[in-house]
């Protein structure tokens, strides 16, 4: 019997993946919103849930997604002369970085909160609210101003090339990948649902 193996290498759509990552980040922000809402209503939210949520948000948004934009997308836009898109992406990235001060403020009091001192809950709520308010619109705006425009302007070959570069980043990344994050976020949504509302 003759068996023919057809090996078809199909790279993911790199632009779609970056936008899918935005959706995962938004869902993590939505969970943070529910946690903060619970704290505003006097619920003693477990420090573990809060820390797991913020930890995953920072890893996924800053290192996995942000690392890809910084190491792959920005240099790609630079090399291919797409200076307006590059400037827009850098500007959104700076806007995002500016929100991180609120997360630092939360980290600053987490140990006290974890020790059972609810006196710092107000500080967590205040900084969490500010972070959510400023960070939430960034991803959809970035999709419109950068990624949808980029996708329209790229040929099939260019998309494949960019897909290969994204694939290289994924190979060197030793944390969770997009489908792992999607699953973990789903579990966190369930956990947060049970505890808070
Ligand atoms: Fe992004």
Question: What are residue 78's phi and psi, to 5 degrees?
Answer: -65, -50
* Separation of CA 153 and ligand 1 centre (Å): 18
CA of 138 to the centre of ligand 1 (A): 8
Q: Are 74 and 65 in contact (CB under 8 A)?
A: no
Joined together, the tokens standing for residue 172 give 């060197």
Q: How far is the CA of 189 from the centre of ligand 1 (A)?
A: 22
φ/ψ (deg, to 5) at 42: 85, 10
Taking the centre of ligand 1 as the mean of its atom positions, its distance from the CA of residue 77, in whole angstroms, is 14
Asked if pLDDT for residue 9 goes beyond 80, the answer is no
What local confidence, expressed as pLDDT, does residue 83 receive?
Answer: 95
Q: Residue ranges of the domains in the chain?
A: 14-196
Q: Rounded to the nearest 5°, which phi and psi values hold at 76? A: -65, -45
Ligand 1 ion: Cβ-proximal residues, 5 Å cutoff: 142
pTM here?
A: 0.92
d(CA 43, ligand 1 centre) in Å: 32
- Residue 34 CA, ligand 1 centroid: distance in Å: 23
For 116-171, what is each residue's pLDDT tens digit?
998 999 999 999 999 999 999 999 999 999 999 999 999 999 999 999 999 999 99
Taking the CA atoms of the chain, what radius of gyration do you get in angstroms?
Answer: 19
Give residue 147's pLDDT. Answer: 97
At 25-48, the pLDDT tens digits run: 999 999 999 999 999 998 888 999
Residue 7 has pLDDT above 70, yes or no: no
pLDDT band at 105 (very low <50, low <70, confident <90, very high): very high
Give the span between the Cα atoms of 190 and 115, in whole angstroms: 25
Residue 69 Cα to ligand 1 middle (Å): 7
């Amino acid at each position: 019997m003759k068996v023919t193996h057809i090996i078809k290498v199909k790279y993911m759509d790199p632009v779609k993946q970056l936008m899918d990552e935005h959706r995962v980040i938004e869902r993590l922000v939505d969970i943070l919103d529910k946690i903060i809402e619970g704290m505003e209503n006097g619920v003693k939210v477990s420090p573990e849930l809060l820390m797991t949520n913020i930890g995953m948000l920072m890893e996924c948004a800053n290192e996995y997604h942000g690392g890809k934009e910084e190491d792959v997308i920005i240099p790609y836009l630079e090399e291919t002369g797409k200076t307006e898109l590059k400037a827009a992406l850098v500007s959104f990235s700076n806007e995002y970085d500016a929100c991180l001060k609120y997360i630092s403020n939360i980290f600053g009091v987490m140990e006290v909160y974890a020790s059972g001192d609810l006196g710092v809950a107000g500080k967590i709520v205040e900084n969490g609210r500010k972070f959510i308010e400023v960070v939430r619109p960034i991803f959809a705006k970035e999709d419109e101003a950068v990624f949808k425009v980029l996708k329209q302007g790229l040929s099939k070959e260019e998309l494949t090339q960019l897909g290969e570069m994204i694939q290289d980043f994924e190979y060197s990344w030793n944390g969770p990948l997009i489908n792992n994050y999607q699953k973990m976020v789903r579990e966190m949504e369930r956990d947060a649902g049970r505890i808070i509302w």
